[in-house]
Structure 1
């Protein structure tokens, strides 16, 4: 009886034995490669998102500065019109640019020119990392001149 059991056992083992094909010695290598590569992929993903956020923050700051210049360059514009318009723009623009209200937008006007500067920090995707943003716009003041 033991001979029959041994012969049957050999048939089962022979039937279920897996033949090694070329490359089968590296079975299980893909999860290990993924575990090694995944942190690098995540770093590149978050870095690309952070770069995009910085560019949106720069664009927001520049648009606010241009809006301030447009308000301050009008004929007989009241004092502080540029700062007020830039602050209104930034409040409506969302949180792409943070800490812009300390010290706030600043506009300097002469008889012929006006400059508005907006400073702040870009919204951070990665905690503890901040990127300073500073944008300035320039325009000429509308005024009456002699022909």
Structure 2
């Protein structure tokens, strides 16, 4: 024989949790959506901040790489004038949009040294805010010398 529970007040009280002294679980109803509404904008702000920081570092890396490419091209043995500028600008055109309005400039250098500075703006996730980027690379010009020994 199978016994089925009889619905009624006795069955309802048996389904409820026993009361624990100090338990106020009934007063916390709806707390999770409110907490989420307070915390969600902060989480989204931190996410955008992390993306912006990564974009600035990628733009700095692209600028430094373009400056190093320009220095490497210009310091080569008997490199024609302007070889570094051409190589640096070609590098910037192929790097993508991490560095917008990027420009390669030949910095003032001595006769046996060459230096290039790349300036531009990092990609911005925040409208109306710009992050300027500037990186410089230096190198010694290669020359053929004869050892007088």
TM-score norm. by structure 2 comes to 0.81
1:105 maps onto 2:104 in alignment: yes
3-state SS in 2 of match to 1:33: helix
Q: Residue deviations 1:46-65, cap 9 Å, x none?
A: 00110011001000000000
Q: How much has 1:15 moved relative to structure 2?
A: 5.2
Partner of 2:80: 78
Q: Is the 8 A contact 1:61 1:97 kept in 2?
A: yes
Match of 1:67 among 69, 85, 100: 69
Q: Give the structure with the higher percent helix.
A: 1
Distance 1:107 1:78 in 2: 14
Q: How many residues align?
A: 132
Unaligned 5+ residue runs, structure 1?
Answer: 1-10
Q: Is the 8 A contact 1:65 1:136 kept in 2?
A: yes
CA RMSD after TM alignment: 2.1
TM-score norm. by structure 1 comes to 0.82
Partner of 1:5: none
Unaligned 5+ residue runs, structure 2?
Answer: 1-7
3-state SS in 1 of match to 2:63: helix
Partner of 2:130: 130
